[in-house]
Each structure stands twice: as C-alpha cells, then as structure tokens.
C-alpha cells in the first residue's frame, strides 16, 4: 500500500513519473536498451538532456532571455562552492536564514570577503529577516528562497542592483516568482524536480567570466555551458526523471497551476495547526513555507499517542529535523491534497482522543 509521503527530500514524485521511470529502466521507449545502459552521446539521451534543460527554462519563463540551464552533480552543497569559484572576486553579501544558508556562507568564505547582511539565527531561524541593506559594492547577493528545516520562505526579493544568486532547492517550480530578477538559480533535484543526483543550475550568461582566478574545469559553469551540460558523463537517470517530472508539471498547468494546489494544501494544514490546541506552529506566520510546515506539540506527553496514530495512518516522513524537533510536513508538488487531508484527519482524531 502506497504511503502518504511527507519526506523532506528525497521526496514524493508524481506516480506517473515512477511508472514511466520504472519502465525505462527495463526498456527505454522500445529501444531495446535500459535508460541505465544508454550512452549519454546517443541521440536518444541527448534529446532527453535538451528537453530537460529546455523545460526548466520554459517553466521559469527564462527562454531566450540570456539564460542557460545546466544539469550538474553534487547537490546544492557543490553549488555553495561553484558560486564562489565563478562569481566571488572580492566581496559578496549573504542572507543567513538557516542551516543551508550558513553552509553556503562557510564555503564561500574560502574565496573572498563575506558580508552577512542579516541572520535569524538568534531565534533558531524561525523567521526571515526583512530590514537589511545590501552593499552596492559586492559581486553578488546570495539568499535561500525556502528553508526546508525551519519551514520558512522568502516572500519577497529585496531590492538591489547587484546580481542575485538564489538557492531554490526546496521550492523551485512550486510558486510563481519574477525569475528574471535572479542572475543565478540553483536547486538540488530531489524536492520538486526529480530524484537525488542531479542539480539544476540556471545562470545568466553575462555574469560569468568576471573573476581573475583559474577555475578547475568541473567547477567552471562556462565549461559545462560550452559542452551543453555534457562536459563529462551526466547523471543520466536523474536527468531523465527530472525531465519526466517537468513534463508532468506542464500537465498540471505549469507553475501557475501548481501554485494554486500548493496553496490549497498549505492552507488546509496551517488552518488545522492554528485551530488544534494540541499543536503550535514553529515558523513566524508571515514567513510560513507552503512546502515545509513545521509544528510542535503543545504537550509533549501526547507524543507517543500522536506518533502511533500517524504511523498507523500510513504516513511517512513526518518527524521534524533534529535542530527543530516536533514535526515537519513537507508538501512538495507531487504530494496530493488527499494526503494532507489524511494528516489533518489524524490531527483531529488525536485531539479528540488525547
């Protein structure tokens, strides 16, 4: 029996994607070859890669606007490093909104001077700082659009003239944004886009080539761009499943259609968190993420009772991250509204039987 999967990532993907991917592992579109044994230089796989790159730009509204989409390896953690390698000549500004933002800062410090424009560390990252100034003499400003662990989301991009780099790992393709305001967007695939093992990088071509250091080939965006994202063997299966997921997203009405569903799911759950005296939300109300809802019990004595109930309801992945505790319901694009309803029902039943 299929679980209601609230896992924070790797996470649920659309069921039709699982089915197509499973079939392609046996035989890719009647080719007599598994997707796993196909040369990345075959015309079949080159078409997969091109389609995935093109769909990513299309969904973001960035086709023919001077951007290139790449599917790389190493996750956002490698992007912490590559961003600095490629863009940090002297000084950069970072907004610190959580564990991943802190890690991005740590890695970039090896390459130049860093200005932490603001941090919500004082309150265990339960809010997004808002009143801060971005120096005008920095090479770029870096932020994290959604903080998976803490359940917060940036609702607005601060005004700035410097290039903006954004880690959108946990909310890309989930909501409409003015993506053309960003010079570089990166995201590990394993939330709204595909399985672990691929990283999407969308980069505005004209921001590159401005640092004086020699960049190792695998760290150099221009090297990957020059080889159409196939400088070396790409993570072929992860790219293929990402392509399938981006095609599925199109069938859902793209980001616009998806955002409506995501808002409905988030409203349903947050309303219950606020209504139910057993629970209290962790993140500041105005910064709540529709992707990751973090909440705690008002009475820790109810823990065993509630835990046994959601497990019995076939729910998976609801435990909060160790740095927050409590619960985290991750409601990525592929999670159906019906799964959120199951969770809400369990929360109400827990209240009745507490």
Catalytic residue positions, numbered: 100, 167, 191
* From 314, 323, 337, 345, residue interacting with a second copy (rule: CB under 8 A): 314
* From 47, 65, 90, 106, residue interacting with a second copy (rule: CB under 8 A): 106
Nearer to a second copy, 220 or 287 (CB): 220
As measured in angstroms, the least distance from the Cβ of 258 to a second copy is 18
Selected range binding a second copy among 123-131, 133-141, 289-297, 313-321, rule: CB under 8 A: 313-321
Q: Does 326 bind a second copy (CB under 8 A)?
A: no
Q: Does 317 bind a second copy (CB under 8 A)?
A: yes
As measured in angstroms, the least distance from the Cβ of 217 to a second copy is 6
Which residues, numbered 65-104, are part of the site for a second copy (CB under 8 A)? 73-78, 80-81, 103
Nearer to a second copy, 179 or 237 (CB): 237
* From 98, 234, 281, 320, residue interacting with a second copy (rule: CB under 8 A): 234
Q: Does 47 bind a second copy (CB under 8 A)?
A: no
Q: How far is CA 318 from the centre of its chain?
A: 18
Q: Does 31 bind a second copy (CB under 8 A)?
A: yes
Q: Cα separation of 92 and 184, whole Å?
A: 14
As measured in angstroms, the least distance from the Cβ of 279 to a second copy is 22
As measured in angstroms, the least distance from the Cβ of 243 to a second copy is 14
Q: Does 51 bind a second copy (CB under 8 A)?
A: no
- By CB atoms closer than 10 A (0-12, 13-18, 19+), residue 287 is buried
* From 151, 188, 281, 320, residue interacting with a second copy (rule: CB under 8 A): 188
Selected range binding a second copy among 32-40, 61-69, 286-294, 336-344, rule: CB under 8 A: 32-40
- Please report, as ranges, the residues that interact with a second copy according to CB under 8 A: 1-3, 5, 7-13, 18-19, 21-23, 25-26, 31-34, 36-40, 73-78, 80-81, 103, 106-107, 110, 188, 190, 194-198, 214, 216-219, 231-238, 241, 314, 316-317
């Amino acid at each position: 029996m299929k679980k209601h999967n609230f896992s924070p990532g790797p996470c649920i993907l659309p069921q039709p994607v699982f089915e197509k991917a499973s079939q392609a592992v046996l035989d890719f579109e009647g080719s007599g070859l598994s997707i796993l044994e196909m040369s990345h230089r075959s015309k079949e796989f080159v078409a997969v890669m091109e389609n995935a790159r093109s769909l990513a730009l299309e969904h973001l509204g960035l086709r023919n606007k001077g951007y290139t989409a790449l599917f790389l390896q190493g996750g956002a953690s490698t992007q912490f490093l590559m961003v600095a390698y490629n863009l940090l000549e002297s000084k950069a500004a970072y907004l610190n909104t959580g564990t991943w933002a802190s890690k991005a800062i740590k890695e970039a410090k090896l390459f130049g001077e860093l200005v932490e424009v603001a941090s919500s560390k004082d309150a265990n990252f339960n809010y997004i700082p808002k009143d801060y100034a971005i120096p005008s003499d920095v090479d770029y400003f870096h932020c994290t659009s959604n903080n998976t662990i803490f359940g917060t989301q940036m609702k607005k991009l601060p005004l700035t003239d410097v290039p903006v780099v954004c880690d959108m790992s946990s909310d890309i393709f989930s909501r409409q944004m003015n993506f053309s305001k960003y010079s570089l967007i990166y995201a590990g695939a394993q939330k709204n886009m595909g399985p672990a093992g691929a990283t999407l990088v969308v980069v505005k071509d004209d921001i590159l080539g401005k640092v004086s250091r020699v960049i190792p080939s695998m760290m150099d965006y221009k090297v990957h761009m020059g080889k159409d994202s196939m400088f070396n063997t790409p993570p072929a299966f992860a790219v293929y499943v990402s392509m399938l997921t981006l095609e599925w997203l199109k069938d859902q009405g793209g980001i616009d259609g998806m955002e409506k569903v995501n808002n409905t799911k988030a409203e349903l759950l947050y309303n219950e968190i606020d209504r139910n005296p057993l629970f209290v939300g962790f993140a500041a109300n105005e910064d709540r993420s529709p992707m990751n809802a973090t909440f705690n019990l008002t009475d820790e004595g109810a823990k065993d009772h509630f835990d046994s109930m959601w497990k019995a309801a076939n729910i998976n992945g609801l435990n909060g991250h160790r740095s927050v505790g409590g619960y985290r319901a991750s409601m990525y694009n592929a999670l159906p509204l019906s799964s959120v309803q199951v969770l809400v029902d369990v929360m109400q039943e827990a209240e009745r039987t507490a």
